[in-house]
Amino acid sequence: MPELPEVETVARALRAEVLGRSISEVCVLDPKLAHLAGSALPGKRLLRVERRGKYINCHLSDRRVLQLHLMMSGRLLLRRTSDPADRFARVLIGLDDDRQLRFCDARRFGRAAVLSPARYREFDAGLGPEPLGRSFSSRLLGERLMGRRVALKSALLDQRILAGVGNIYADEALFRARISPLRPAGSLDSPALRRLHRALRHVLRASLALGGTTFGIYANAHGDEGAFQAMLRVFRRTGEPCPRCRTAIKRLLVGGRATHYCPRCQGG
């Protein structure tokens, strides 16, 4: 699933390309993904594009928000209207400069919807802080985890606690911080919180600089793949030697999610 760096990469491309453009038409090819019936999008201008957690939010001239979630296999591609059709296209959003936003999704888990201002505020309030935000500190991280007995890996994936972190970057940050994914989330002391805070911000920024991580599906708005997969130290490296201590990387399930870690460096 695209996580913070991948979704932010797409959002940045859209910010650079489509701000001020008007929607000329909307063609929903798969109603399962798009809840756009009666949304009256044609004629609305795209005033702002932002990422919140793993969501892309396009703020419209009528104060509503066109919200897109790529889920497991979604792509949001910016094409010329005359370009060849893309596989698995589910929604086509025409712009007034002869281009289209094409929401493609092989597995059909993605979502597109239009939110009222009130519904958007409700959505925003339901998400945790942004780990790359200016206000995100080790103290705030500790406050979000305080009193929680679930495994730390599960807490990091809870979007109500922290917005945008998924399986890849939780594993990579925990490895860099030398913390077990099985440790109770509320048990971290100040030094561990500082290590985890630093590791989260480092790995997210490093991935963002390389356009995110691609495992066969993810691509940016121009169809280019990310390159951070070459930098991964533990994720999907089961059985390979730890880059620090040479112990074999292990895989286990934490809260039903595949988790990769070094049993020596991280304990457990």
CA angle 96, 100, 105 (to 5 degrees): 155
Q: Indicate if the pLDDT at residue 268 is higher than 60.
A: no
Q: Indicate if the pLDDT at residue 57 is higher than 90.
A: yes
Find the helix or strand (DSSP H, E) in which 251 lies: strand 250-254
Tell whether 146 and 120 lie within a shared domain. no
Query: Could you confirm whether 5 is annotated as catalytic?
Result: no
Q: Indicate if the pLDDT at residue 38 is higher than 90.
A: no
Q: Indicate if the pLDDT at residue 265 is higher than 60.
A: yes
Q: Indicate if the pLDDT at residue 139 is higher than 80.
A: yes
Spatial distance between the Cα atoms of 177 and 179, rounded to a whole number of angstroms: 6
| Percent of residues, the chain, with pLDDT higher than 90 | 94
Tell whether 112 and 147 lie within a shared domain. no
Which among 44, 52, 54, 195 is annotated as catalytic?
A: 54
Confidence of residue 32 (pLDDT cuts 50, 70, 90): confident
| CATH code for the domain in which residue 219 is found | 1.10.8.50
Q: Indicate if the pLDDT at residue 156 is higher than 90.
A: yes
Tell whether 87 and 145 lie within a shared domain. no
Residue 133 lies in a domain: no
pTM for this model (two decimals): 0.95
55-60 and 46-52 strand pairing: antiparallel
Tell whether 107 and 143 lie within a shared domain. no
Instruction: Write down the mean pLDDT value for the chain.
Output: 96
Residue 146 lies in a domain: yes
Tell whether 24 and 79 lie within a shared domain. yes
Which among 21, 108, 119, 257 is annotated as catalytic?
A: 257
Residue 93 near residue 86 (C-beta atoms within 8 A): no
Tell whether 71 and 182 lie within a shared domain. no
Which among 2, 5, 131, 181 is annotated as catalytic?
A: 2
Tell whether 121 and 8 lie within a shared domain. yes
Q: Which of 125, 146, 177 is the last residue of a domain?
A: 125
Mean pLDDT across 183-190: 98
Tell whether 155 and 119 lie within a shared domain. no
Tell whether 84 and 167 lie within a shared domain. no
Work out the end-to-end distance of the chain between its first and last CA atoms, rounded to an integer number of angstroms.
27
Tell whether 152 and 253 lie within a shared domain. yes
Query: Could you confirm whether 6 is annotated as catalytic?
Result: no
Q: Which of 99, 125, 151 is the last residue of a domain?
A: 125
Tell whether 208 and 109 lie within a shared domain. no
Cα-atom radius of gyration of the chain, to the nearest Å? 20
Query: Could you confirm whether 8 is annotated as catalytic?
Result: no
Mean pLDDT across 217-239: 95
Burial class (CB in 10 A: 0-12, 13-18, 19+), 163: buried
Residue 12 lies in a domain: yes
Residue 132 lies in a domain: no
**Higher pLDDT among residues 268 and 82, named by residue:** 82
Domain hosting 153: range is 138-261
Q: Indicate if the pLDDT at residue 204 is higher than 80.
A: yes
Q: Which of 72, 90, 125 is the last residue of a domain?
A: 125
Mean pLDDT across 107-132: 97
| CATH code for the domain in which residue 26 is found | 3.20.190.10
Tell whether 152 and 84 lie within a shared domain. no
Residue 175 lies in a domain: yes
Mean pLDDT across 42-61: 98
Q: Identify any residues that bridge with 49 across adjacent strands, giving them in sequence order.
A: 58
As for how many domains the chain has, the answer is: 2
pLDDT score of 196:
99
Query: Could you confirm whether 54 is annotated as catalytic?
Result: yes
Residue 173 near residue 245 (C-beta atoms within 8 A): no
